[in-house]
Amino acid sequence: MSKLENREEFENVNRDLLDFIDRSPNAFFACSNMRTELLNAGFSELHEGEKWGLENGGSYFVTRNDSAIIAFRIPKTEFKGFNIMASHCDSPTFKIKTNAEIEVDKEYVKLNVEKYGGMICAPWLDRPLSVAGRVLVRTGNGVETRLVNIDRDLVIIPNLCIHMNREVNDGYKFNAQVDMLPLFGDSDSKDKFLNIVAEEAGVSADDIIDTDLFLYNRMKGTVVGVNGEYISSGRLDDLQCAFASLRGIINSQPKDSVAVHCVYDNEEVGSGTKQGAASTFLKDTLHRINSALGRSEEDYHIALTSSFMVSADNAHAVHPNHSDKSDPTNRSYMNKGIVIKYSANQKYTTDAVSGAIFREICDAADVPYQTFTNRSDMLGGSTLGNISNSQVALNTVDIGLPQLAMHSPYETAGAKDTAYLINAAGKLFASTITGVGNGNYKIEF
């Protein structure tokens, strides 16, 4: 059992986590909020289109597409490798289509949307929703990106009453083009959607060139359970891990390895974008760190052999109503610690080497951990670890925090587990993991 059992510390972490999620309705806002926290913590911002002047002992970050971010701390002495925690900041939702308004019977206006990622559809219905994202606007200085969040209960996706849909409780299949379109307003709301977005952006509708706008659930996160043992919120997958990684790097100092906090976008749709795990974002960043410090290409490849990645994406807890869906012997529970994920078919990157190294990190951080595999007769999901490894090949472990209702707009997780991962992330970022040959590794804390 971990010594980290201070109730006040758990409560403070959960308050900050739920506030971070509430301020991050989608990846653009999550990235912007992490940028602000890093600046406040003394990190310097870099830009991919400019030369990088880096110094030993410095702390830096860079963004791509306004929706992915990499922060890193350089040790004061010559570094031996990279210690990386990678997560993602996108979640399943609905994207607003171009020419969004659809008029119905000259009485209603609804918005045309399409699914982003694999969500559970039913919980999106009959609850207040709104719209947030980015708009590209025309200004006197060219084209400018602005984030917009229409911070009020704006739309709702109404269910069809049971009298007209008797099969709704018998495994009804939702049609994204029919059942999932949000109601925007009555006939007076026609042609007003873009005006509302423009007002939020501080421009006229004519100045909007293009948009990336998404629905989000307006219900705020909360603490639930008879003893406050759970947290419930939208977007726990994967802002819970991204938040823990961010706090870990802010709270720690590197030893002999570069500490790297990496948060990708588009994991929920396959990671195959310029800001996703399949992109060159991480590889480009590591290369530039290496070269900006005057090291050779060979030095870079040597450093990779003494590097380690934690792919952090939430995991499935045993469901209280469906415990038979979990593996008989590798079952994870909320508040029992970080989950180490295994898959014989390499859906997860964990092997004996990376699993052993991460267990040592957890033991050094004095936080509990548990193991997860899917039932042998059930296919599970995959995550960003293997995809990222196709760009930067290094020892990688797949982990997560246990939760219920993954890919619902309102998920549930343990009230203790975020603090556990913050401590483990801090220990990772402050460690040195050296490959000494023949499958042997030296770990220093």
How far is CA 173 from each of CA 148, 159, 167, 398, rounded to the nearest angstrom?
Answer: 33, 13, 9, 32
Mean pLDDT to the nearest integer, 251-258: 96
Mean pLDDT to the nearest integer, 289-294: 97
Reduced DSSP (H G I as helix, E B as strand, rest coil) percent helix, strand, coil of the chain, to 5:
30, 30, 45
Q: What pLDDT digit, counting tens, does each position of 36-92 carry?
A: 999 999 999 999 999 999 999 999 999 999 999 999 999 999 999 999 999 999 999
Report which residue type is found at 161.
C
Residues 6+ apart with CB under 8 A from 340: 350, 355, 358, 359, 369, 370, 371, 372, 397, 398, 399
Mean pLDDT to the nearest integer, 366-377: 95
Residue 436 has pLDDT above 80, yes or no: no
The more confidently predicted of residues 6 and 190 is 190
What confidence score (pLDDT) does residue 9 get? 86
Beta bridge partners of 133: 148, 213
Pairing state between β 338-341 and 369-372: parallel
How many Å apart are CA 343 and CA 405, to the nearest integer? 21
Mean pLDDT to the nearest integer, 96-122: 97
Residue 8 has pLDDT above 90, yes or no: no
CATH classification number, 7-91+234-444, choose in 3.40.630.10, 3.30.470.20, 1.10.3210.10, 3.40.50.620: 3.40.630.10
What confidence score (pLDDT) does residue 332 get? 97
Q: Could you tell me which CATH number the domain at 93-217 has? A: 2.30.250.10
How many Å apart are CA 344 and CA 317, to the nearest integer? 20
Alpha-carbon dihedral angle through residues 429, 431, 436, 441, given to the nearest 10 degrees: -90
Residue 29 has pLDDT above 80, yes or no: yes
**Per-domain boundaries in the chain:** 7-91+234-444, 93-217
Peptide bond into 212 cis (omega under 30): no
How far is CA 403 from each of CA 21, 291, 315, 328, 415, rounded to the nearest angstrom?
Answer: 16, 40, 6, 18, 10
Q: What pLDDT digit, counting tens, does each position of 191-226 carry?
A: 999 999 999 999 999 999 999 999 999 999 999 999
What confidence score (pLDDT) does residue 1 get? 42
Residue 295 has pLDDT above 90, yes or no: yes
